[in-house]
Each structure stands twice: as structure tokens, then as C-alpha cells.
Chains A and B, each alone.
Chain A
Amino acid sequence: MNQKIKNEIQQGFKERLDYDELMNCMRCGFCLPSCPTYGQTDQYEAASPRGRIALMKGVVDGIIEPDESVEKQLNLCLGCRACEPVCPSGVKYGHLLEEARDIIQQKKKHTWPVRVLRRVVFDELFPHKKRMKRVHYFLSFYQKSGVQKAVQKSQVLKVLPGNLAQMEKILPNVPSRKEMKDRPASLPAEGTAVRKVAFFTGCLMDTMFNQTNNATIQLLQKAGCEILIPQQQGCCGALHAHGGEKNTAKRLAKQNIEAFEALEVDDIILNAGGCGAILVEYDHLLKDDPEWKERAAVFSRKVKDFSEILVEQNFIDKELSLSNQVITYQDSCHLRNVMKTSGAPRRLIHAIEGITFREMEQADQCCGSAGIYNITEQEMSMQILDYKMSKVKATHAHTIVTANPGCLLQMKLGIQREGMEDSVRAVHLADLLLEAVNNEGNL
């Protein structure tokens, strides 16, 4: 980083970071035990929330320059926001981090491969549903045509860096073009409709995890919900907002607000904590935009995880059963820390007959997936994952349940790294519940 860029970043920090929020941290350290990176670095203060806030403030105050070490430390943060609910002072760490990263990204000159990759992911792929689907058709072909088997056998994958080779194996079986047909604009409830809700499909959830979306919709129907699925909705913008591409995130937010505004519903339901967290913060994202601020707030207030709706609709009174197995639940950080949903998924699992629910230690700590963190910060991600798997193993669980696609893939990766593919599975809560409600034991 040359001096000019450093000066520009420093200026950006001064102008855009909320100084009152930086001062709101009174440095009590109460957040330290909850921070996974602090734990995994032998309690290195710079890798803690208090330390990172101090670094940002130090740059604003002109005590230090925003050099590589500062940038590296902000990158090493998972953005899991476990530091927020435990902060008595109510510091909004996530907002500070997002702003700081955005400033650094904007000022920084990336090397060309990084530039290309960022363009493809942030501008060309995720904001465009059709293109996402096309990539998935390709993946589907890759998996179903036998090419995948051939490739895996040929050891070509060994040239992939780090865990990418392992990741290739854990990708779920992607639905084919036929299976991924467009969803209808509305779906009726099973029986009489008692509630009308809108469904946010998400991009990964509607392509790679298409089946989980199908399951969620069926559960909502069974719970008496009529479901509206606006066609103009798009990507939630979470990857962009957390990856320092705030302007694209804002554009996507507006598109989604418009798509859902037209519907007369009180609930916007989804099944991915990672997407939900940004949706409930659209009001913050658009806080400086007078035309959109209020509309965003109305939208954000309606957003809910599907598990909350199921509990509200007394889904737990249905006959739910599964074969004898130990189940444990890994919180999705953003579902828990930002959407504040942690009880509903557990209540639903508890309601299943025939299983043993065993809480793992530190289920509320990040698994290391964190958006694209497991690719950008592989080493730390794998360290955190291995630690997580040690906690999973202590429960002797047969089934790990999660409520977010990123966490699900990471848990699958963890199972594979431990060589436990034969005895342990990872599933999304929606798929588990559908299995439980359709189980023959109920009949």
C-alpha cells in the first residue's frame, strides 16, 4: 500500500466512520470471550472486537496509519457479530466493520486476478438470477454427466489450492434445468389459509439449494400459509455489503423493496440467516437515502426466519417423528446475532418424536464459513472449523442441523475433514422438518 492510498483510506475513515459509535466502546472486554478469532489466536487483542474497534479509532485519531496489518486484521474478522449481543454498551460493531471494509475496498488497487474475480462474483453473477442459474446448469451437468467422477478420479483437483478440492466434493447435488423451473407467483395453503406470507427465495437457496426452498414452501403450506413469490426479487446483497461493495448492495436492496412493497403481506419469510441479516438491516443500509429510508424500514420489520412463523403457527403440535438419532444444532451467526432467532429452531427440533436433541458446547460460535471467508481466509476458517468439529464430536450427534446454506456447506466440509461421512450428516432445518412431518411413523 503506498502512502497516497493510506492517506485516502485514513481520510475515508475520518469522514465516514461513526465516531460516536467508536467512542461507545468503553473497552470493558466483555465481548472478548465470544470472539472466535480472539480464541483461535491465543487471545491476541488485535484479533478481538475491542482491538478492531481500537484499530479503527486509532486510524481516525491519527495515532496509526491504516497499513497492511490493520487491513489484514479487519479481513480476519468473520463478521459473525457474536460480539454484538454480548456488548452491554450496545456497540454496533457490524456497521463499523462494514463501513471500514467498504472504504478500504474502494481506495485499494487490487491485483488484476482479484479484480477480475470480484467483478465476476459481485457484478456479473450474483445480481443476475439467470446467470446464476446458468452456472448451476453447468454444475448440474458436471455432476450428473459423469464428468465429476472422472475429474475426481483423475486427481486434477489436486492442483486446486487449499480446501477448494475438498469443497468441490461437498457441493450438494445441484438440480437440473428441468427441476429448477420458475416458481409460480403464488401457492395455496394446505387446507384453509390462515395467513398470507411472502417468500424470499435468495439466489443460492433457489439454485444450489433449490430442494431446501421446496421443502420450506411445503412446510409453510402445511402450516396454513398462502405464499406469494414476487418474480422481480433478486439477490439480497449480503455478499456485496460485507465484501466492500456497498453501492451494489444498495441497488439490490431497492430492487427487493420494490418487489415486495406491492404485496399486501405482513411477513417476508426466508430460510437463510445470511440473507435475512442484511434484509433486516436494509433500513440501516439506506439510512442516508431520504426517499428509501422509511420504505426500507417497513420492509425490514416484516422479515422473519421460517422457523419463527412455524412456531407461531403451532407447527410443533403436528405429528413429527424420525428414526432414533442424536441431533445437534449449529446456530447460524447472522440468524442468531442479527435476526435474533435462536429459540425457534431448537423448539422445532425438540418437537420431533424419537430423536435425542443434544446441545453442543458453543453452538452459538461461528463455524468459520462466514460468507466467502472460508475461501479468502482459509487457514483461520479451517482452524475454527476443526475446533467446531471437536465440539460436534463430543455430542456424538448423527445429524447436524443448520439454518443457513453457508453453514450447511461448512458442516459438510467438517464432516469430510473428520472422515465421518458414513456416520454423520448435515441437513438444513427445513429438510429435516419435512422429513419428520412426512415420516411413515406418523401414519
Chain B
Amino acid sequence: MLDPSIRDQLIGIVGKQNFNDSNEAKLVYSYDATPNFQSLPDAVIMPENKNQIQSILKICSEAGVPIVPRGSGTNLSAGTCPTEGGIVLTFNRMNKILEIDEDNLTVTVQPGVITLDLIKAVEAKGLFYPPDPSSMKISTIGGNINECSGGLRGLKYGVTKDYVLGLEIVLSNGDVLRTGGKLAKDVAGYDLNNLFVGSEGTLGVVTEAILKLIPIPETKKTLLALFQDMDAAAKTVSAIIANKIIPATLEFLDQPTCKVVEDFARVGLPTDVNAVLLIEQDGPPEVVERDIKVISAICREGKAVSVKIAQSLEEAEALSTARRSALSALARLKPTTILEDATVPRSKISEMVRAINEIALKYDLRICTFGHAGDGNLHPTCLTDARDTEEMHRVELAFEEIFEKAISLGGTITGEHGVGEMKSPYLAWKIGEEGVAAMKAIKYALDPKGIMNPGKIFAKDTRKRVVL
């Protein structure tokens, strides 16, 4: 429960209509897209500008009230689940594109802008913002920055952090910090931009961002390579990259994933093969033609049973859009879908796919796999039922083994979905106790009262590591 005097002060800042602590509001801001996490906040607040956020943070800092910044709540690590109560802070009223600077190739936005709206707005001017998480039609830029989201174009173009040039951040004590700028180079001190990217709302509130744009590629071409042998598909991924070709997109989908996606989207995805690679190349027409030819040949050498090239831009677009629905489409099959985000060096992708299949067998679980194979980033997704506690226990053990395997291959527990609350018990597995101590020191320096998204990233206890 919020102290009545604090409640009054907060209402004083944003006005009655932008502060909501009704039953209904508390419930609908109690979750994100992470299964099995739900916890009610004490209130939801919808500020209009930086100044209001400064005042809100000052009050909450003094009173020790937790602040949970929230974009569209699509994260998959319980990053916006208010597990310690407090105030959910939304950016639905801070969703403007402030400037598209065609001279400097930058765009300046408020955090609540929807990713796809931004992409469309800059494309209308012949410019390109590559980070395109599958959730882009609803995710916000604030969320993308704070998770350092990747997307289908990550292989060639990188992830969100590669496009953040400058940020405006309100710190927990109400101070405003500006990092970076419209600059191609900047080494004035520590790189604070990169500190805040992927900080999951635990260091401060992003109130404005300057993002880098690039010219839009002239054209693109998409192909589907079909495999009966999953291992052959995974090896082909490494082979393409080893051949010094970097496609814009290189996605992997196994058969069950293809089936559900086709069920939903009806775009002609094959459902009778064990694995499919969705590959896209963009750039000048000659380069695209040449690369697609070489990629096709590599796929065939790698035992692809067939290689199909999309005949039009519309068909290509439909295939990528269908791929973006994979996770939600898998939810058709079972009540609960738990997905992981383990990432390994690209050369290790086939080893990882094999390990996932073995682990699924060992724990008698149904795990489907799809993901950004070209980035070494797979999404093994377990189809289960949260009501079945015995199976849920096996799911947990299986994922622990998957994490362990990824780390032993030189990988990480999360490539793009963040640690949040869900993976916090495993953080030390990847970065060690020293890593956790260094991160905690940073957290304490910037948020000494610990009001910013508490309970996220750092766990009370690290899981005991399984010994394989």
C-alpha cells in the first residue's frame, strides 16, 4: 500500500487522470510476456515529460518506493513484473518522434515510440533503422534500449546498442544525465551510453534517445532452404559465415515451429521437413544476386533437400512476418511456453542444437527450437503446463543444463532477452562472483536507495551450478 501522503504528492505531479491505483489497473500492469510471473504494483503512473519523472523519482527515492519503468511489457525475463510492488511508470504519453536529422543521419525519440512506427517513419525518408525484434509492432524504443534487443537483421547490422548515440536519463535521485550525442566519435570519459543500454530499468529512466540511422539498402532477396537433417541445417549456418558472407538474416526453424507458424500465417512454409533456414540478403542488386547464388549453392552442398527463392518482395515480407510470430504461435500447442535465449559462438551452433535435443529427451520434455541462428542465438522453447508442478521441475532442470552447455561452449545465458528476475539466479554462472560484485557496485553508485526496478538482474541467491 502506498502511503496516502505520497499518493497525494504523485497525483499532484501528474494529475488525477494519469495516476491509477484501481483494482483493474493494478492487475493489468502486474505481468509481462514472461510465463508464471505475476505481482501487483501499488499504482500506475503515466507522466508526460522529463520534469514530471524527475519529481516522481525524487519523492520515491526519499520514501523508498520501487519504480518499475514499463514500455509495452513484452519482455521475456519478468523485467517489468513488479515483484516488489511499487509504482509502474509508463511512457504511453511520451511517444513522439522528435526529429529525423537527415544531415547527421540520426533520429531523436521519446522512449514510448513503437519500434515499427519509428522504422516506418525513417524509411519514408529513405533511411534505415535495422534493429527489428520480432515484437517490433508493439515493443517500445525504451524497452529495446533497456534490453539491448536484437532482431532478424542482427547478423549483418548488429543490435540496439550499435545504434544508440545518445541518451537522456533521469537518475533515481531526480538528476538528469545526458550521455553521448549526434556524434560519430566520442571518447570523453567512460562510455555511459553502453552502460545504460541493456540495464533493464535498474539504473535510471530513459527519457530521450538519439539513434543512428543508415541509408536504406537498395534491394533484398529472401530464400528458404529445407533440410531433413537438423544437424545439416545447423552446420550450413556455420558454413555460410565461414564462407565470408554475412546475410542480413539467417533464421532457423524446426518442424514443429514451421507447422504452427504455417497454421497461423498460411504463407506456404514447408511442414514436411525437419528444419528450415530463412535467409535474406540485402544491398545493391548485383551483390544480392551474387550472394544469394553462393548461399543457395552452400545450402545444397550442405544437404538441403530444396532451396526456394521468394518471387516477390511481398512474399519475402510475408515470410519474415510469419517468422516473427513463431513464439506466440507455439503457444497454440500447450498452455505454457517457456522460452530461453542461450547464445553461443556461431561456429558452435550445431553442437548446441544437438545438445538441446538430447536434453529434451533426457528430461522427457517437448522442446521446439527456432531463432537467430546466424547470431548463434537460439530460442529453445519448452511446451508445458504451469499447472503440472512435476513437469515444471523437469523444465527447470533442463534449462539449467542448457545454460551450462551454452556457457561451456563459450556462450551466455541470454543473448537478447535480458536477465530480469527470471534468469537472475544464473547471472553468476556467466559473469562470476567478481562480475556480479562489479555490477552491484555500479548499481549502488547510481541508485543507492535501490528503488530502480528492484529484484531484477541481481538475485538474492545464485542457483547452485549443476555439474555435468
Cβ contacts A17-49/B at 8 Å (1 or 0 each): 000100111111110110000000011111010
Stretch at the interface among A7-15, A67-75, A145-153, A356-364: A67-75
Contact of B28 among A20, A30, A51 (CB under 8 A): A51
Report how far A292 CA is from B339 CA in the complex, Å: 42
Q: Is the CB of B337 within 8 A of A26?
A: yes
> Does any Cβ of B come within 8 Å of A316's Cβ?
no
- Closest CB in chain B relative to A104 CB, distance in Å: 14
- Chain A residue at minimum C-beta to C-beta distance from B385: A23
- Chain A residue at minimum C-beta to C-beta distance from B112: A43
Stretch at the interface among B30-38, B98-106, B169-177, B418-426: B30-38
> Does any Cβ of B come within 8 Å of A432's Cβ?
no
> Does any Cβ of A come within 8 Å of B92's Cβ?
yes
Cβ contacts B29-47/A at 8 Å (1 or 0 each): 1111101001010000010
> Does any Cβ of B come within 8 Å of A63's Cβ?
yes
Q: Is the CB of B33 within 8 A of A27?
A: yes
Report how far A117 CA is from B24 CA in the complex, Å: 29
Contact of A26 among B95, B265, B331 (CB under 8 A): B331
Q: Is the CB of B74 within 8 A of A69?
A: no
Contact of B138 among A33, A65, A90 (CB under 8 A): A33
Q: Is the CB of B336 within 8 A of A55?
A: no
Given contacts A30-B138, A32-B138, A89-B331, contact A64 B27 (CB under 8 A): yes
Which residues on B sit within 8 Å (CB–CB) of A132? none
> Does any Cβ of A come within 8 Å of B120's Cβ?
no
Q: Is the CB of A65 within 8 A of B328?
A: no
Which residues on B sit within 8 Å (CB–CB) of A46? 24-25, 27-28
Q: Is the CB of A63 within 8 A of B40?
A: yes
Which residues on A sit within 8 Å (CB–CB) of B326? 88
- Closest CB in chain A relative to B422 CB, distance in Å: 14
Which residues on B sit within 8 Å (CB–CB) of A69? 22-25
Q: Is the CB of B93 within 8 A of A64?
A: no
Report how far A65 CA is from B27 CA in the complex, Å: 10
Which residues on A sit within 8 Å (CB–CB) of B74? 28-29
- Chain A residue at minimum C-beta to C-beta distance from B265: A88
Q: Is the CB of A54 within 8 A of B28?
A: yes
Which residues on A sit within 8 Å (CB–CB) of B138? 29-30, 32-33
Q: Is the CB of B32 within 8 A of A24?
A: no
Contact of B32 among A27, A42, A65 (CB under 8 A): A27
Q: Is the CB of A70 within 8 A of B336?
A: no
Report how far A73 CA is from B386 CA in the complex, Å: 27
Q: Is the CB of B23 within 8 A of A28?
A: no
- Closest CB in chain B relative to A61 CB, distance in Å: 8
Question: How would you classify the secondary structure of chain B's contact residues: helix, strand, loop or mixed?
Answer: loop
> Does any Cβ of B come within 8 Å of A87's Cβ?
yes
> Does any Cβ of A come within 8 Å of B350's Cβ?
no
> Does any Cβ of B come within 8 Å of A58's Cβ?
yes
Given contacts A29-B72, A89-B332, contact A64 B135 (CB under 8 A): no
Cβ contacts B267-308/A at 8 Å (1 or 0 each): 000000000000000000000000000000000000000000
Q: Is the CB of A32 within 8 A of B335?
A: no
Which residues on B sit within 8 Å (CB–CB) of A24? 331-332, 335
Q: Is the CB of A55 within 8 A of B28?
A: yes
Cβ contacts B85-127/A at 8 Å (1 or 0 each): 0000010110100000000000000000010000000000000
Contact of A63 among B38, B46, B332 (CB under 8 A): B38
Contact of B92 among A42, A51, A87 (CB under 8 A): A42
Report how far A73 CA is from B27 CA in the complex, Å: 12
Which residues on A sit within 8 Å (CB–CB) of B363? none
Which residues on A sit within 8 Å (CB–CB) of B332? 24, 88-90
Report how far A45 CA is from B32 CA in the complex, Å: 11
Q: Is the CB of B31 within 8 A of A28?
A: no
Report how far A64 CA is from B261 CA in the complex, Å: 34
Which residues on A sit within 8 Å (CB–CB) of B35? 26
Given contacts A28-B327, A28-B328, A44-B92, contact A20 B264 (CB under 8 A): no
Q: Is the CB of A29 within 8 A of B33?
A: yes
Q: Is the CB of B23 within 8 A of A23?
A: no
> Does any Cβ of A come within 8 Å of B228's Cβ?
no
Report how far A33 CA is from B95 CA in the complex, Å: 14
Report how far A23 CA is from B25 CA in the complex, Å: 20
Given contacts A24-B331, A65-B23, A89-B332, contact A29 B135 (CB under 8 A): yes
Number of interface residues of B (CB under 8 A): 42
B24, B35, B325: residue with the most chain A Cβ atoms closer than 10 Å:
B24
Report how far A54 CA is from B81 CA in the complex, Å: 14
Contact of A88 among B38, B73, B331 (CB under 8 A): B331
Residues in B120-167 with C-beta less than 8 Å from chain A: 135, 137-138
- Chain A residue at minimum C-beta to C-beta distance from B39: A63
Which residues on B sit within 8 Å (CB–CB) of A32? 72, 138
Which residues on B sit within 8 Å (CB–CB) of A70? 23-24
Which residues on A sit within 8 Å (CB–CB) of B386? 23
- Closest CB in chain A relative to B392 CB, distance in Å: 14
Q: Is the CB of B92 within 8 A of A43?
A: yes
Residues in A291-342 with C-beta less than 8 Å from chain B: none
- Chain A residue at minimum C-beta to C-beta distance from B138: A29
Residues in B40-96 with C-beta less than 8 Å from chain A: 40, 46, 72-74, 90, 92-93, 95
Q: Is the CB of A45 within 8 A of B23?
A: no
Cβ contacts B163-195/A at 8 Å (1 or 0 each): 000000000000000000000000000000000
> Does any Cβ of A come within 8 Å of B329's Cβ?
yes
- Closest CB in chain B relative to A342 CB, distance in Å: 14
Report how far A190 CA is from B203 CA in the complex, Å: 75
Q: Is the CB of B23 within 8 A of A64?
A: yes
Q: Is the CB of B325 within 8 A of A88?
A: yes
- Closest CB in chain A relative to B37 CB, distance in Å: 10
- Closest CB in chain A relative to B232 CB, distance in Å: 28
Q: Is the CB of A27 within 8 A of B31?
A: yes
A45, A67, A90: residue with the most chain B Cβ atoms closer than 10 Å:
A45
Which residues on A sit within 8 Å (CB–CB) of B114? 33
Report how far A45 CA is from B31 CA in the complex, Å: 11
Report how far A30 CA is from B135 CA in the complex, Å: 7
Q: Is the CB of A28 within 8 A of B92?
A: no
Report how far A88 CA is from B263 CA in the complex, Å: 9
Which residues on B sit within 8 Å (CB–CB) of A63? 27, 30, 38, 40
Contact of B24 among A26, A55, A89 (CB under 8 A): A55
- Closest CB in chain A relative to B139 CB, distance in Å: 8
Which residues on A sit within 8 Å (CB–CB) of B329? 88-89
Which residues on A sit within 8 Å (CB–CB) of B261? 88
Residues in A135-183 with C-beta less than 8 Å from chain B: none
- Chain A residue at minimum C-beta to C-beta distance from B70: A45
Which residues on A sit within 8 Å (CB–CB) of B38? 63
Given contacts A30-B138, A32-B72, A88-B327, 8 further A-B contacts (CB under 8 A): A27-B31, A30-B328, A42-B46, A43-B95, A45-B29, A46-B28, A58-B27, A58-B30
**Residues of B participating in the A interface, judged by any CB pair closer than 8 Å:** 22-33, 35, 38, 40, 46, 72-74, 90, 92-93, 95, 114, 135, 137-138, 261, 263-265, 325-329, 331-332, 335-337, 386
User: Could you list 15 examples of A-B contacts with CB < 8 Å?
Assistant: A20-B335, A24-B332, A26-B328, A28-B135, A29-B33, A29-B73, A29-B138, A43-B72, A43-B90, A44-B92, A45-B29, A63-B38, A69-B23, A88-B264, A90-B332
**Residues of A participating in the B interface, judged by any CB pair closer than 8 Å:** 20, 23-30, 32-33, 42-46, 48, 51, 54-55, 58, 63-65, 67, 69-70, 73, 87-90
Closest 3 interchain pairs by CB? A88-B328, A88-B325, A23-B335
